[in-house]
Amino acid sequence: MPRIALAMPEFPMLYEVAIASEILGVDRSDLSPTGEWYDLVVCTVDGAEHPWLPGLPTASYAEIARVDTVVVPSTDDLDVDPRSDLVLALRDAHRRGVRVASLCTGAFVLAAAGLLDGRPATTHWMHADDLARRYPEIDVRADVLYVDDGDVLTSAGKTAAVDLCIHLVRRDLGASAANGIARQLVVPAHRKGGQAQFITPPAEPRSPDGLAPTLEWAHARLDQALTVRDLAGHAGLSTRQLARRMQSEVQAGPLDWLHQQRIARAQELLERTDASVEQVAAGCGMGTAATLRRHFHRAVGVTPTAYRATFRVG
């Protein structure tokens, strides 16, 4: 079970703390193909329970070096240097191989620890110029939702913390777990906007109303040769009306949505079955193994075989 430390700075912000604890700290092992979720510990200065997170396991900053990943939520006072004991704990943890992530202005804490030097990173757009000015060694990217630089990850402002936390779930536990928690939270499993993002999973409806019945109908027939006219006919709309509605409800056009759903179906088949690449291609509507390999590599960044080697259950 992956262990995650939520390292509380001296002046944390409630919203990002709540996002991290909700996504990473609530047991959702039923969504994971491996039957695992995260073991989250809240790290405070003296190991005392934090008033915002009663009942959760708590430890001092020293525990940061003994987990798999440490997440630093946003900090409210950027004019005050982060605590030296937190900075030193983060440096030591990263040196020991712990993956480090920040949410919103938590990037300033990682920057103070020197963990962003020479790396691409992001933070809330309102503070991006300040981050670049104070730490010129950082390649600050203000136009992305998050940056995944391997062992160090940073998210942009506020709700972008959701994007990064779901991305962590996808990296650690696979596509079906990430898509499952996105559905439970009623948020898109992926929003466009990050050139360093690891994967492009399907957009989700904003609500169970609207086009949801048509999207569910199409999702059940991904192995068939569906067209935009098929979706429009089921929804009782013209193709132009369908395109406008889909942009509004799932932030994707009909063809893009179908393509994303097929990639997601391929991911689930690769994770959960022993089907050959040819069978996976047929099962997700890609037709041939060559077509699947081309589109899968473009969307995910790796081949279907490499993806299976990483996320295959059992």
CATH number where 274 lies: 1.10.10.60
Residue 202 pLDDT: 42
> How big is the chain by its Cα radius of gyration, in Å?
21
Say whether pLDDT at 198 is over 50: no
pLDDT tens digits along 128-144 = 999 999 999 999 998 78
pLDDT tens digits along 37-89 = 999 999 999 999 999 999 899 999 999 999 999 999 999 989 889 999 999 99
CATH number at residue 25: 3.40.50.880
Residue 206 pLDDT: 45
Q: Report the first-to-last Cα separation within the chain, whole angstroms.
A: 15
pTM listed for this prediction: 0.65
Q: Are residues 176 and 307 in the same domain?
A: no
Q: Are residues 20 and 154 in the same domain?
A: yes
Q: Are residues 176 and 218 in the same domain?
A: no
Residue 84 lies in a domain: yes
Confidence class for position 314, pLDDT limits 50, 70, 90: low
Please classify residue 207 by burial: count the beta carbons closer than 10 Å to its beta carbon, then call 0-12 exposed, 13-18 middle and 19+ buried: exposed
Sign of the four-CA dihedral 41, 46, 48, 51: negative
Q: Are residues 17 and 148 in the same domain?
A: yes
What's the domain count of the chain?
2
Q: Which domain holds residue 31?
A: 3-185
Residue 217 lies in a domain: yes
Q: SS3 string of the chain?
A: CCEEEEECCCCECHHHHHHHHHHHHCCCHHHCCCCCCCEEEEEECCCCCCCCCCCCCEEEHHHHHHCCEEEECCECCCCCCCCHHHHHHHHHHHHCCCEEEECHHHHHHHHHCCCCCCCEECCCHHHHHHHHHHCCCCEECCCCCEEECCCEEEECCCCHHHHHHHHHHHHHHCHHHHHHHHHHHCCCCCCCCCCCCCCCCCCCCCCCCCCHHHHHHHHCCCCCCCCHHHHHHHHCCCHHHHHHHHHHHHCCCHHHHHHHHHHHHHHHHHHHCCCCHHHHHHHCCCCCHHHHHHHHHHHHCCCHHHHHHHHCCC
Say whether pLDDT at 205 is over 70: no
CA distance 115 to 29: 31
Say whether pLDDT at 199 is over 50: no
Q: Are residues 118 and 18 in the same domain?
A: yes
pLDDT tens digits along 248-280 = 888 788 999 999 899 989 988 998 889 999 999
Q: Are residues 29 and 174 in the same domain?
A: yes
pLDDT tens digits along 109-130 = 999 999 999 999 999 989 999 9
Say whether pLDDT at 211 is over 50: yes
Residue 203 pLDDT: 44
Q: Are residues 291 and 252 in the same domain?
A: yes
Mean pLDDT of 25-40: 91
Residue 196 pLDDT: 31
